[in-house]
C-alpha cells in the first residue's frame, strides 16, 4: 500500500473526488474544485489517499476550514475515512502521520481536526483543544496536532 497526493498524481483527481464525495455526501464539484486548487501549488488545500494496488482504501484532506465558526483554527485535516474492510490495520494512523509530515515540510506545524470521536485521535498524537460551533449550528470537538 502507498499514500499518494493529488498534487503528485493529478491523473487521480476525478477518482479521488468521486471517492470522497461518496464517503461524505458532499457534492463531487466541491471536491473537484478543492483538488484543482491544490494543483496550483499552494500549501492548502491538500488531498491524500492510501492505495492498495489501484483501490482507494483510505484518505484525508487539508483545507482552510472544515465547516466551523473558528476561522482562526486553521488549517484543518478533514474527510478522514478508511474503508470498513480495511479498518484496524493502522491506515488512519499512517495517513495522519503522513499529512503531519507533509504539512511540516511546507512550513505548517500546527493542524486542527474537527470530530465527534472522543478517543480515536489521541492515539496518534492529537490533543483535544476545544469545542467549536459548526456552520450547521451543532457543536463538535476540535483537536490540535503540533509537529
- pLDDT bucket at 119, cuts 50 / 70 / 90: confident
Residue 118 has pLDDT above 90, yes or no: no
For residues 124 and 96, the answer to whether their CB atoms sit within 8 Å is yes
What is the tens place of the pLDDT at every residue in 55-91?
999 999 999 999 999 999 999 999 999 999 999 999 9
Query: pTM above the 0.75 mark?
Result: yes
User: DSSP states of 46-108 as a string?
Assistant: EEEEEEETTEEEEEEEEES-SSBS-TTS-SEEEEEEE-GGG-SSSHHHHHHHHHHHHHHHTT-
Give the pLDDT confidence score for residue 144 in this predicted structure: 98
Residue range 132-147: mean pLDDT, rounded:
95
Residue 54 has pLDDT above 90, yes or no: yes
What is the tens place of the pLDDT at every residue in 92-105?
999 999 999 999 99
Give the pLDDT confidence score for residue 49 in this predicted structure: 98
Q: How many CB atoms within 10 Å of residue 119?
A: 7
Give the pLDDT confidence score for residue 147 in this predicted structure: 87
**Chain mean pLDDT for the chain:** 96
Q: How many CB atoms within 10 Å of residue 14?
A: 14
Residue range 92-121: mean pLDDT, rounded:
95
Amino acid at each position: 500500500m502507498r499514500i499518494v497526493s493529488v498534487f503528485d498524481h493529478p491523473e487521480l483527481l476525478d477518482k479521488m473526488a468521486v471517492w470522497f464525495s461518496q464517503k461524505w455526501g458532499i457534492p463531487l464539484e466541491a471536491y473537484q474544485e478543492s483538488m484543482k486548487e491544490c494543483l496550483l501549488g499552494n500549501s492548502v488545500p491538500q488531498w491524500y489517499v492510501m492505495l492498495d494496488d489501484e483501490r482507494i482504501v483510505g484518505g484525508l484532506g487539508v483545507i482552510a476550514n472544515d465547516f466551523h465558526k473558528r476561522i482562526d483554527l486553521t488549517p484543518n485535516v478533514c474527510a478522514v475515512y478508511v474503508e470498513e474492510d480495511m479498518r484496524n490495520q493502522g491506515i488512519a494512523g499512517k495517513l495522519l502521520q503522513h499529512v503531519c509530515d507533509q504539512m511540516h515540510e511546507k512550513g505548517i506545524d500546527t493542524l486542527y481536526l474537527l470530530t465527534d470521536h472522543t478517543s480515536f485521535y489521541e492515539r496518534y498524537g492529537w490533543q483535544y483543544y476545544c469545542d467549536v460551533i459548526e456552520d450547521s449550528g451543532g457543536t463538535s470537538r476540535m483537536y490540535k496536532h503540533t509537529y
